[in-house]
Structure 1
Amino acid sequence: MSRSSSIAVDPLSNVLDILGARVARRTRIEAAGAWSLSFPGLDRLKFVALLRGDAWISVPGHQPRRMQAGDVCLIGRTDYVVCSDPTLAPADGRALYDGPERDVARINGDETVGIGGSVTFAGANADFLLDMLPDFSVVPRDASGSSAIGITLSLISNETEREAIGGEIVRSRLADILLVEAIRACASEVRATGMGWLGALLDPRIGRALAALHENVAHPWTVAELAGIAGMSRAAFSAAFSRRIGQPPLSYLRSWRLTVARTALMRDNLRVADVAEMVGYQSQSAFSQAFRRTFGTSPKDDTAGPATIP
């Protein structure tokens, strides 16, 4: 006799799904010789991966990082420069990709080949994830948990060279996989310190509490109840959660509830009262007040469309 079992909610998958995260634009650069391109900071998440050669990535507040084939980096809201030499003055990289069907930039050859992906989110919901992720993180090809990245990059490279039918949808799905694998690898890199949201997801105690919270966002959670799931005292749990994630447990819960609600109002066209109940508010008025304090508009007026990221 077979038994069915439920699969525990994975907070990362839950967040990416609710936020409607997807790689909406994929770009490629082929370059040789001396070159340097700058790009502005935007409310988006971007990845850059090298398929061949090497390049440097520079962002404000960090030392330039040399990347080699197989390396991937995640970039948040910050400006960044990708180049052959960090001492070169950069040109505006947007000009090379400005316009439809301009997703490939070629500069003097193809000693270095890289790909990039810009991630869009449903409505104005980028803030929740971007606030939780570092502005800049490099995953070396030999980092723990990066083996899947190498396989994915190889598949992307092969698919690009094949130019087979259905290639566009295959490359699109592979880009989504690469994004998740890069975030996973970043989580593995920060696991030792445990700091930040990614580190908290992999923490055996804080991670259990986060999984429970995401599995049932409408539950009337208390700090004591979440601490019990984590197997910690209330004070120790609250301090550890706040230190690692940057906000107390119930503030995180409120932020996620309102993010889920905003997505439901935009995507599912539900009544405000139904959405308030769905995310755990006992009254529509309390929900509306919290929504207005957080987003600066009432739930009825919040009609933001999908974000478009260049």
Structure 2
Amino acid sequence: MEAAGQWALAFPAVDRLKFVALLRGSQWMLLPERPPQLLSEGDVCLIGHTAYAVASDPDMTPIDGLAFYASPGCDVARIGGDDTIGIGGTVTFAGANADFLLDMLPEFMIVPRSSPGSGAIATILALMGSEIERDRMGGEIVSARLADVLLLEAIRAYAGLVGQTEMGGLGALSDARLGRALHAIHEDIAHPWTVAQLASVAGMSRAAFSAEFTRRTGKPPLTYLRAWRLTVARAALMRGNTTVARTASEVGYTSQSAFGHAFRRAFGHPPKSGARS
């Protein structure tokens, strides 16, 4: 996006992890139920599945931002000049996993240029800006790979800035105690885990483990386990190389009927959708 003067663009929520970075100038990031956040040159923010707006003035009423990208192949919005230049992109997760993975991350992460660990981000932004300006053969491929690295570095920098406790479920994976329990779940999803067993793996009392796990991931331990089982099952069924009965067993359900009921409650349709009979 290249913009100058007064402007404000709104964008809807999508099941993707979005990033916005400023190469020049400044702009306001506006999210529901959050105070406006000023993004300056060199800053990066990551946005989960929530609607948002970008603006030159936080008091302006945004218009539909997607309209500026409506033409086929259009990937640049130009509004009155280039005092502010921003780039943005998304990481698309497999459809079966988007909600679960996005829920593992904070809804909004901003990494200022001045924050520790932002040196790599500055280098990547400079390279991306150079690719955009040169418009040379293969530039889209290079920019896409740089965007992948930018996202990873931004998440790393944000974690270093706020600490693991503010990183949601992703931060819990890095926690010495909760991480052991999460790794145990992920490595043996079919095991009939109990809260007491997971607490023992974590080296915590049952009550303390349950409270801390829920606070950090947003779900009680067995609710997390059930959601992860169904997420893995849906991904397997969508690949189409398995059966419902086999999938149910592989994710820890001893009854295909119980699996079917849980799947329907979670996703609104029976598990046979997209699977081989």
Which residue in 1 is equivalent to 2:102? Answer: 130
Instruction: Report how many aligned residue pairs link the two structures.
Output: 275
The residue type equivalent to 2:197 in the other structure is E
CA deviation after TM superposition for structure 1 residue 268, in Å: 4.3
The residue type equivalent to 1:178 in the other structure is L
Contact 1:57 1:64 in 2 (8 A): yes
Residue ranges of structure 1 left out of the alignment (5+ in a row): 1-28, 304-310
Does structure 1 residue 289 correspond to structure 2 residue 261? yes
User: Which of 183, 193, 211 in structure 2 is aligned with 1:211?
Assistant: 183
CA deviation after TM superposition for structure 1 residue 65, in Å: 0.8
Does structure 1 residue 252 correspond to structure 2 residue 242? no
Which residue in 1 is equivalent to 2:148? Answer: 176
Counterpart CA distance in 1 for 2:159 and 2:258 is 35
User: Which of 198, 201, 204 in structure 2 is aligned with 1:229?
Assistant: 201
CA deviation after TM superposition for structure 1 residue 255, in Å: 0.2
User: Which of 48, 72, 88 in structure 1 is aligned with 2:20?
Assistant: 48
Using a 3 Å threshold, how does the CA distance of structure 1 residues 300 and 140 change in structure 2: closer, same or farther? same
Using a 3 Å threshold, how does the CA distance of structure 1 residues 151 and 214 change in structure 2: closer, same or farther? farther
Counterpart CA distance in 2 for 1:269 and 1:69 is 48
Which SS does the other structure have where 2:86 is aligned? strand
Which SS does the other structure have where 2:176 is aligned? coil
Contact 1:187 1:198 in 2 (8 A): no
CA deviation after TM superposition for structure 1 residue 186, in Å: 3.2
CA deviation after TM superposition for structure 1 residue 208, in Å: 2.4
Contact 1:48 1:74 in 2 (8 A): yes
Counterpart CA distance in 1 for 2:81 and 2:92 is 30
Which SS does the other structure have where 1:205 is aligned? helix
Using a 3 Å threshold, how does the CA distance of structure 1 residues 203 and 284 change in structure 2: closer, same or farther? same
Using a 3 Å threshold, how does the CA distance of structure 1 residues 83 and 121 change in structure 2: closer, same or farther? same
Which residue in 1 is equivalent to 2:90? Answer: 118
Does structure 1 residue 83 correspond to structure 2 residue 55? yes
The residue type equivalent to 1:264 in the other structure is A
Per-residue deviation, residues 190-249 of structure 1 (Å, max 9, x unmatched): 426456223323322112222232233233323233222222122211111012222111
The within-5 A match list for 1:54-203 is: 54-191=26-163, 193-194=165-166, 196-203=168-175
Q: CA RMSD in A?
A: 2.2
Residue ranges of structure 2 left out of the alignment (5+ in a row): none
The within-5 A match list for 1:16-31 is: 29-31=1-3
Per-residue deviation, residues 235-277 of structure 1 (Å, max 9, x unmatched): 2111110122221111101101110110111124321122222
